[in-house]
Structure 1
Amino acid sequence: MKKVAIVQSNYIPWKGYFDLIASVDEFIIYDDMQYTRRDWRNRNRIKTPQGAQWLTVPVKVKGKFLQSIRDTEIEDSSWAEAHWRSLTLNYRRAPYFEEVAEIVEPLYRNCGDLALSQLNRKFLEAICRYLSIQTSITNSWDYDLLEGKTERLAALCEQAGGTEYVSGPSAKNYLDPVVFKETGIELTWFEYGVYPTYPQLWGDFIHEVTILDLLFNCGKDARDFMKYTK
């Protein structure tokens, strides 16, 4: 049995994203998909004294309405210093800030001319290592891509040797279960459910923030507040 998930990359995503990664044997980054503006591909939220605040990586979009996530370029490099400064300002009092900073700060200092997809993958891999998530991470362009939303996903899973495709619940709106059944692949739905709270800075608790919030506050004990990394 081999479980596979196929999801577009996000910028420093929330804890649920990493739970999905940890729940499967292979996680395929689906960045051949079209880039969508004002989405999670190039932004996420942190916790501040004023509430949740967006950190957004500026990308080149003018005249590139149909570009893929894979082909999306970052506008300039000044954003990295600004993001790290915001993280330092808002999390330097967190118990595990220094420990996690040793992993995260170099990513911001050395992002150079990376494209968005490359940047996202570097963060994903670094955080997975910190959380001891052993899942294999690959790219959709490592495989042949077919036409059709469901057909393409089923084919990717089949090429990866998957026997079970684990999908996020939002895909129930467009996935055709029949296609997976005909391919002999079991389709299951990942459920995030209710997460426990953890010691968090700055007022009322917010779940929907980057996983860095959890890491800065809890270190490797972050696994105790997740589902599939224990």
Structure 2
Amino acid sequence: MKKKIAISQSNYIPWKGYFDMINSVDVFVIYDEVQYTKNDWRNRNLLKTKQGIEWITIPVRQEKLGQTIDQTKVSKSNWNIKHWKTIQAVYGKAPFFKMYKDKFEELYLTCDDVFLSAINKRFILAINKILNIETSIIDSRELNLKGDATERLIEACKKLEAAVYVSGPAAKAYIRNELFCNNNIEIEWMDYSGYPEYYQMSKPFEHGVSILDLIFNEGDLANTFLKSFK
């Protein structure tokens, strides 16, 4: 079977599609050497509440122009306590909240990392275990990638001996397909359409919320709602 990799910036408690991508590959590379962007998924995500969808955001500070994600630090030390209280308020009555309460409470209340990238990775690794995802996770800095956006992807594939690169559909705007062809590397595009609905405590149904929503509402069946587990 051909070895597959994916490369993506870290997100905070990402949605199910993010974990579907991780589970679709052999190695997932967290690529946080790129510029941090405001109002993005790096430090925030969505929760499904009775009032609709609401943002939950890690406060961060930008100290210089061109600051990368892995250079970005939190600006308030008590963000984790506030987030845990919010999650308890939103999901306290969810069917499987009690099953995972202790695990997430520990994750939040013992989180003393100051760098956003480290925080994101902490939660991604923990959620992978809950979903039974065994994909290897590495930091792009281990690969010492050079060149433009596409050249770095090619180099990562070569260094990890991957024959297939799995990408989200948004990358179609910049990926140079001919370089992949010239290097005998296939591209597979993630399809985020057609996800089945699962139980949510209020309507209308929302797909694009944090994976926490799926975990607290479906428990150990959560990964059956990911396409990569079919």
TM-score with structure 1 length normalisation?
0.97
The answer as to 2:204 corresponding to 1:204 is yes
- Give CA deviations for 1:182-207 in whole Å, capped at 9, x if unaligned: 22211121111211111101221111
Q: Which residue of 2 aligns with 1:4?
A: 5
Letter in 2 for 1:65: L
* Residue 50 (structure 1) shift: 1.0
Q: Contact (CA 8 Å) 1:77, 1:113: kept in 2 or not?
A: no
Q: Which residue of 1 aligns with 2:57?
A: 56
In 1, distance between residues paired with 2:145 and 2:223? 35
Q: Which residue of 2 aligns with 1:74?
A: 74
Letter in 1 for 2:94: A
Deviates more, 1:138-147 or 1:37-46: 138-147
* 2:155 alignment partner, SS class: helix
Letter in 2 for 1:21: I
In 2, distance between residues paired with 1:173 and 1:90? 36
In 1, distance between residues paired with 2:77 and 2:201? 29
In 2, distance between residues paired with 1:76 and 1:157? 38
Q: Contact (CA 8 Å) 2:95, 2:217: kept in 1 or not?
A: yes
Q: Which residue of 2 aligns with 1:41?
A: 42
Alignment of 1:1-230 (within 5 A): 1-61=2-62, 63-230=63-230
Letter in 1 for 2:40: D
Letter in 2 for 1:136: S
* Residue 154 (structure 1) shift: 0.9
In 2, distance between residues paired with 1:177 and 1:11? 29
Letter in 2 for 1:27: F
TM-score with structure 2 length normalisation?
0.97
Q: Contact (CA 8 Å) 1:33, 1:68: kept in 2 or not?
A: yes
Q: Deviating runs (4+, > 3 A) in structure 1?
A: none
* 1:12 alignment partner, SS class: coil
In 2, distance between residues paired with 1:71 and 1:122? 16
In 2, distance between residues paired with 1:21 and 1:114? 25
- Give CA deviations for 1:76-125 in whole Å, capped at 9, x if unaligned: 22111111111100111111101122221111111113310000001000
In 1, distance between residues paired with 2:60 and 2:21? 26
In 1, distance between residues paired with 2:85 and 2:217? 17
In 1, distance between residues paired with 2:106 and 2:114? 14
- Give CA deviations for 1:34-90 in whole Å, capped at 9, x if unaligned: 1110000000010111110100000111x4231111111111221111111111001
* 1:64 alignment partner, SS class: coil
In 2, distance between residues paired with 1:157 and 1:105? 37
Letter in 2 for 1:49: K
Letter in 2 for 1:176: R
Which structure 2 residue ranges, 5 or more long, are not aligned?
Answer: none
